Amino acid sequence: MRSPLAAGNSVSVGDVVITRRNERTLRTSRGGWVKNGDRWRVVDIRHDGSMLVDRLDPRRRGKAVLPAEYVAEYVDLGYAVTAHRAQGITVDTSHVVVTPSTTRENFYVSMSRGRESNIAYVALDQPDDSHSTPEPDDVTARTVLFGVLQHSGASMSAHETMEAEYAIHGGIDRLAAELETIAADAQRHRFVELLRRSGLTPEQHDAVVRSSAFGPLTTSLRRAEAYHHDLEKLVPRVIGQHGLDDADDVAAILRYRLEQAAASSARNCRLRPRLIAGLIPEPLGAMSAENRRAIDERKHLIEARAAALVDAASSDGAVWLRRLGESPAHPPAMIAWRADVVAVAAYRDRYKVSSDLPLGGGAATDAQRADRRRAQHAARGAADGAAAELPVGHWQTADGLAVSAL
């Protein structure tokens, strides 16, 4: 059986669909509700046109029955969507078609949907009607992407646009993905040249830059730099550890070695890591004023979001926050405790942790495991800081919850 959808398409059991309107009255089997941008798999189509669907987000599973009226107006196929409709969606891999008429705002949205990777396919045979048609030899993927990054479709300022997007779809997961997309573009040339002069053969260097693991490798480089490692010394040392001649993916191996060598701050370095909200490595080094401004805007929004989440958790008496103990009274200790708690809140929001445990369960990806290690360090720091000021008659449990002995 097939059922008609809002856009004139039809759907069968097993298809993936997207709900396009928040509807709190439509509850899921696990206590949630149907939201705009949720992706579902169709389990059953009933004779009255209603559908039984199963939400695909592994962090918010649950089945729901969508009435026929809702299906006809607010359900679309979920395989390919416009950049506008992609807002609020997170997938494992995002494949984006980019044309000369794509705006910078839509490009940023589209290229920040994927958890694992975001891949752009640049169309070279679709001229922009608002510009003169370039000669064929002048059109390359790089020139199209450069034009897209210069093409703003916003009537508001960049900051106003970001504030509006944050208000509608705000979340550290989204903001961090956008920040990392911008950082990848801003730092690419610097990291490419760093790798070129660090001991790789020309063939190995070319393979690294072309590898799908190059993006994760640059993320690891950014993390090492945020932990005050000197990349000019660290990268040649990592490359020279063992031979790479028989490596299937040199970039993946270098990333693994780099993560092992730079998992913590540089030796004898007492400086705090340069981390946004105590969690996300801050992109450093020279870059254009536009890229720096875009990164700073997202840094501000991430830190404001994490601080607001801590304040809300404190007002609500959230269990995860109580497990980290009470804020110390001594100002320096209170500031340190607050910074650690903000990092935990940032981790919870980035990975949608809803558990009463501060960090929830395990990690699903290498990137999450790296963030989880940092968040664990912050959680221990907060619990230790709170325990140092516990009154007589209290003790600290293994999970960081203050318990009265009276």
In this predicted structure, what is the pLDDT of residue 150? 66
- Distance set, CA 9 to CA 12, 38, 96, 99, 226 (Å): 10, 18, 21, 25, 48
- Cα separation, 188 vs 210, in Å, equals 12
- Phi, psi dihedrals of residue 333, rounded to the nearest 5°: -70, -35
Q: How many CB atoms lie within 10 A of CB 355?
A: 11
More confident position, 150 or 338: 338
Burial class (CB in 10 A: 0-12, 13-18, 19+), 179: buried
- Phi, psi dihedrals of residue 77, rounded to the nearest 5°: -60, 145
Q: Is the pLDDT score of 154 beyond 70?
A: no
Q: How many CB atoms lie within 10 A of CB 174?
A: 24
- Distance set, CA 287 to CA 9, 130, 188, 233 (Å): 45, 29, 10, 21
CATH entry 2.60.40.10 includes domain 2-77: no
In this predicted structure, what is the pLDDT of residue 139? 66
Residue ranges per structural domain of the chain? 2-77, 83-153, 172-281, 317-404
Which amino acid is residue 172, in one-letter code?
A: I
In this predicted structure, what is the pLDDT of residue 381? 93
Which residue, 333, 226, 229, 243, is CA-closest to 282? 226
Which amino acid is residue 256, in one-letter code?
A: Y
* Residues 10 and 2 sit within 8 Å (Cβ to Cβ): yes
SS3 160: helix
In this predicted structure, what is the pLDDT of residue 81? 62
For the chain, counts of helices (H) and of strands (E):
14, 15
- The pTM of the full predicted model, rounded to 2 decimals, is 0.57
In this predicted structure, what is the pLDDT of residue 194? 95
What angle in degrees, to the nearest 10, is found between the helix axes of 172-196 and 202-210?
A: 170
Q: Is the pLDDT score of 158 beyond 70?
A: no
Joined tokens for residue 42: 């169709």
- Distance set, CA 369 to CA 58, 292, 351, 394 (Å): 17, 27, 11, 33
Q: Among 147-151, 300-304, 387-391, which stretch is predicted with the lowest mean pLDDT?
A: 387-391
Which residues make beta-bridge pairs with 76?
18
Structure-token match 């040199």, residue found: 250
Quote the strand ranges of 234-360, DSSP E: 275-276, 280-281
Which amino acid is residue 310, in one-letter code?
A: V
Strands 2-4, 16-19: pairing is unpaired
The secondary structure element, H or E, covering residue 39 is strand 39-45
- Cα separation, 276 vs 46, in Å, equals 49
Percent of all residues in the chain with a pLDDT value above 70, rounded to a whole number: 80
